[in-house]
Amino acid sequence: MIVAREKTADTVPWRDPLLLRWLLFATALAAAPHAVFQPAWVVAALAVAMLWRWLIEQGRLPKPGWLVRALLAVLLLALVWNQYRTVFGRDAGVALLLVLFGLKLVETRTPRDYAVSVLLLYLVVAGGFLHEQTPWVAALAVLTIVTSLVTLIRLTQPTTIDARRSLRLAGALLLQALPLMLVLYLFFPRFTGALWSLPGAGGAGLTGMSETMQPGSLGEVMESTEPAFRASFRGVVPPPEQRYWRMLVLWQTDGRRWDRGALPPGRERLTAGGPEYRYQLILEPNRLGWLPVLDRPVETPLDALAFAGNVYERREPTRERLSYELSAWPQARDRALTSFARHAALQLPDTLSPRVRELAERLRAGRDDSLAVAQAAFDHFRREPFVYTLRPPRLGTDPVDEFLFETRRGYCEHYASAFVTLMRAAGVPARVVMGYQGGEHNPAGNYLLVRQSDAHAWAEVWDETRGWVRVDPTAAVAPARIERGSEAIRRLEASGLNPGSLTDAALTRAIEFGLFERLWRRSQLTLDYANLAWYRWVADYGAERQSKLFEGFGWPRLTTAQLIWMLVAAFALALLFTLVWLSRQRTTLDPARRQYDRFCRKLAHAGLARAPHEGPLAFAERCSCQRSGLATTVSEITRMYLGLRYGRVPAAGLPELRRRVADFSV
């Protein structure tokens, strides 16, 4: 008929056949971290749901009706309740989210379902972050987000753009969003304090030392090279012999086991003096609430409770990394010893053997200064054939006696325990301090990395004029332990050498690293620094660090309003930058096409405008009809253009086309 045939674009079906695959892929990535955090059945339930949905897609399983879904929802709720006795809070909430997300996945059908599923995935990802803020969890989240973006792209645009291009587009979106995200992240005002508080999690699998000391109790901890904490110093890092990190003070002993005793909370008064070391300590999770602090602390870190001996405990175990800033005053002086504390520092077991008493008497004889007595005991350890070893013989019921007079082999806790017992027997108030000694300096970040293997026990004795004085009997036997660290001792033991029997030079030679080992350690330190930096900028980036960052830029004490203004300005700037960048890469038309457009413009100028629906061939024909004089040129240029743009022969004739178009005139 008269109505011309017309090519109308068909309305496309919304579904991309691969859409479900992308969604399932994103789900798997989002759920992966939860396989570690959640009970196995939760993740298994989600996996079953994914499989189920897949089989529905294949037509091998029917879609579940509403009754089945409702029953399943109730069942899953009951299972979560059974596991956690609640459905609120972090762990139970995330478990519930995961299983209900599985249910949602099973009934996902319409575009809206898909969009909602993708959005719920973000909640799943955030649930993982609440568990752990490590780089690998973050990396999985980035992958999840990219796949979720691909899912959204495929959902919006099922045609024309293939999976690879969608992936590229998703990646481009992510990269373009990153600068904006960084601006928001750095400038967005952080708040302190929670909006609401919910039950958290049970801390399982935490390592670290225990609250008591008995022969062999530290040995297990010292086997581990896991980091215990990191301390970065503002300015000078203290020398190795001052790197004593106290954590616990043990007052009471039954002859075998040392514990904290019954001293009530309360701080010991110190007078600060001498040099100050200011540091930030980032504590790894461990099973205690005690906080390691560098000798000697004056303030109380965080919300901890101070105990006699300048040690600090929080009510809860350290389940997540914790950071606090503190000063150490190595030359701080105690003011007085309470009678209660004096009594506790002189407590002795009833079972103290006569041999020990006799030795103590001998050390005491003729000396009335408590430090002189301590020096005598110290000399005793150095003089007698005591051996420092990480693999001492097992001790029986009276370990102090057996160690002092028979085995004479042991490590820090044996020496500390024996030393303090001797001091008390000699009438000198003394106590055992447990904590860490040493720390590896990481030049990459100017901080000390202290490992579990640096766990240490030493003694403190009371001197009427100087207060509590640190005496480390281990140093009498193996000065290398203090000066060169536990790592050096470990290496010596591994090569069958005894630290006490070597000269300094021999020692240095023995613990010297080979090239590969040095490179390995170097890379380990760099990795550790990256780890620390990650922690600082991610988990620990709060109000405090934020204000410190701006202080660094020279804007101290910003108010929230100022911060928001800066945020808006920086965000607008970043957005503008993105806009400019996006519009810059706009017109990169095919060069042949550009020439052809130029040619068309010339024709249009002469009254031969090409209609947009007119193909080049039809246009050429029309031009030829209307201006027979142009026929040859027009058809030749058109043929060249079509050959360049659509022909099989590659674009060899582009300069020729350019020349012809340039010469062309009507």
Partner 1 sequence: MSADVILARRQLYMLPSRHGWLLAGMIAVLGMAAINYANGLVYALVFLLVSLGMVTMLHTHRNIHRLRVTVAAPPPVFAGETAQFPLCLVNDTGRARLGIVVEQAKRERARLDLPAGETRTATVTAPAIRRGWVVMPPFRLSTCFPLGILYSWSRTLTLAARVLVYPAPTATGSPATGAAHEGAGATLTHVRGGEDFVGLREYRPSDSPRHVHWKALARGRGWLTKEFGHEGAAVRWFDFDTLAPHDTETRLSMLCRDVLDADREGTPYGLRLPGIALQPSTGESHRDRCLEALALYAG
Instruction: Round to whole Å and give the CA distance between 646 and 640.
Output: 10
Instruction: Round to whole Å and give the CA distance between 86 and 108.
Output: 28
Q: Is 625 in the site for partner 1 (CB under 8 A)?
A: yes
Burial 138-147 (b: 16+ CB within 10 A, else e): bebbeebbbb
Q: Is 123 in the site for partner 1 (CB under 8 A)?
A: yes
Q: Is 607 in the site for partner 1 (CB under 8 A)?
A: no
- Closest separation in Å from C-beta 537 to partner 1: 7
Task: Please count the residues of this chain forming the interface with partner 1, following the rule CB under 8 A.
Answer: 77
- Closest separation in Å from C-beta 192 to partner 1: 7
Q: Is 146 in the site for partner 1 (CB under 8 A)?
A: no
Determine the interface stretch with partner 1 among 54-62, 151-159, 489-497, 652-660 (rule: CB under 8 A). Answer: 151-159
Query: What does residue 263 show for φ and ψ, rounded to 5 degrees?
Result: -70, 135
- Closest separation in Å from C-beta 635 to partner 1: 12
- Name the residue nearer to partner 1 (CB basis): 138 or 549: 138
Q: Is 302 in the site for partner 1 (CB under 8 A)?
A: no
Outline where DSSP puts E strands in 428-552. Answer: 430-437, 440-442, 447-451, 455-463, 467-471
Q: Which of residues 81-110 bind partner 1 (CB under 8 A)?
A: 90
Q: Are strands 333-334 and 305-307 parallel, antiparallel or unpaired?
A: unpaired
Q: Is 628 in the site for partner 1 (CB under 8 A)?
A: yes
- Name the residue nearer to partner 1 (CB basis): 416 or 661: 661
Burial 394-424 (b: 16+ CB within 10 A, else e): ebeebbbbbbbeebbbbbbbbbbbbbbbbbb
- Judged by CB under 8 A, the residue of 44, 47, 173, 387 near partner 1 is 173
Q: Is 126 in the site for partner 1 (CB under 8 A)?
A: yes
- Name the residue nearer to partner 1 (CB basis): 4 or 649: 4
Instruction: Round to whole Å and give the CA distance between 415 and 477.
Output: 9
Which of 575, 579, 388, 588 has the alpha carbon at shortest distance from 489? 388
- Judged by CB under 8 A, the residue of 159, 271, 338, 560 near partner 1 is 159
Q: Are strands 244-250 and 430-437 parallel, antiparallel or unpaired?
A: antiparallel
- Closest separation in Å from C-beta 640 to partner 1: 17
Which of 411, 417, 454 has the alpha carbon at shortest distance from 433? 417
- Judged by CB under 8 A, the residue of 541, 642, 651, 654 near partner 1 is 541
Q: Is 153 in the site for partner 1 (CB under 8 A)?
A: yes
- Judged by CB under 8 A, the residue of 155, 356, 482, 620 near partner 1 is 155
472 labelled catalytic: yes
- Closest separation in Å from C-beta 12 to partner 1: 6
Residue whose structure tokens are 């300590």: 281
**Cis peptide before 451, with omega less than 30 degrees from 0?**
no
**Token duo for residue 375:** 């020096």
Q: Is 125 in the site for partner 1 (CB under 8 A)?
A: yes
Q: Which of residues 257-296 bind partner 1 (CB under 8 A)?
A: none
Of 131, 380, 414, 456, which residue is the catalytic one?
A: 456
DSSP SS3 for 617? helix
456 labelled catalytic: yes
Q: Is 635 in the site for partner 1 (CB under 8 A)?
A: no
- Name the residue nearer to partner 1 (CB basis): 231 or 623: 623
- Name the residue nearer to partner 1 (CB basis): 178 or 206: 178
- Judged by CB under 8 A, the residue of 68, 73, 119, 139 near partner 1 is 119
Q: Which of residues 1-20 bind partner 1 (CB under 8 A)?
A: 2-4, 6-9, 11-12
Q: Is 176 in the site for partner 1 (CB under 8 A)?
A: yes
**Token duo for residue 458:** 């030493």
CB-based burial label for 42 (10 Å; 0-12, 13-18, 19+): buried
- Name the residue nearer to partner 1 (CB basis): 21 or 90: 90
- Closest separation in Å from C-beta 281 to partner 1: 19
Residue whose structure tokens are 């020398």: 239
441 labelled catalytic: no
- Judged by CB under 8 A, the residue of 115, 372, 444, 497 near partner 1 is 115
Q: Is 185 in the site for partner 1 (CB under 8 A)?
A: yes
- Name the residue nearer to partner 1 (CB basis): 488 or 634: 634
Of 91, 295, 334, 472, which residue is the catalytic one?
A: 472
Q: Is 405 in the site for partner 1 (CB under 8 A)?
A: no
Determine the interface stretch with partner 1 among 47-55, 381-389, 537-545, 648-656 (rule: CB under 8 A). Answer: 537-545
- Name the residue nearer to partner 1 (CB basis): 138 or 143: 138
- Which residues neighbour 352 within 8 Å (Cβ) at sequence distance 6 or greater? 255, 400, 421, 425
- Name the residue nearer to partner 1 (CB basis): 173 or 654: 173
Which of 97, 117, 162 has the alpha carbon at shortest distance from 24? 117
The alpha carbon of residue 554 and the mean position of all alpha carbons in its chain are separated, in whole angstroms, by: 28
Q: Is 532 in the site for partner 1 (CB under 8 A)?
A: no
CB-based burial label for 656 (10 Å; 0-12, 13-18, 19+): exposed
Of 34, 380, 412, 528, which residue is the catalytic one?
A: 412
Determine the interface stretch with partner 1 among 70-78, 333-341, 521-529, 531-539 (rule: CB under 8 A). Answer: 531-539
Q: Which of residues 186-205 bind partner 1 (CB under 8 A)?
A: 188, 190-192, 194-196
The answer to whether 461 touches 423, Cβ cutoff 8 Å, is: yes
- Name the residue nearer to partner 1 (CB basis): 9 or 40: 9
- Judged by CB under 8 A, the residue of 325, 487, 590, 636 near partner 1 is 590
C-beta pairs of 563-572 under 8 Å, 24+ apart in sequence: 563/187, 563/188, 563/189, 564/189, 566/187, 567/183, 567/184, 567/187, 567/188, 567/189, 570/183, 570/187, 571/180, 571/183, 571/184, 571/187
- Name the residue nearer to partner 1 (CB basis): 112 or 362: 112
Q: Which of residues 412-431 bind partner 1 (CB under 8 A)?
A: none
CA atoms within 13 A on the CB side of 190: 17
**Token duo for residue 661:** 């178009």
* Residue-level length of the chain: 666
- Closest separation in Å from C-beta 596 to partner 1: 10
Which of 228, 232, 246, 290 has the alpha carbon at shortest distance from 450? 228
DSSP SS3 for 57? helix
Instruction: Round to whole Å and give the CA distance between 47 and 482.
Output: 53
Q: Is 559 in the site for partner 1 (CB under 8 A)?
A: no
Q: Which residues are catalytic?
A: 412, 456, 472
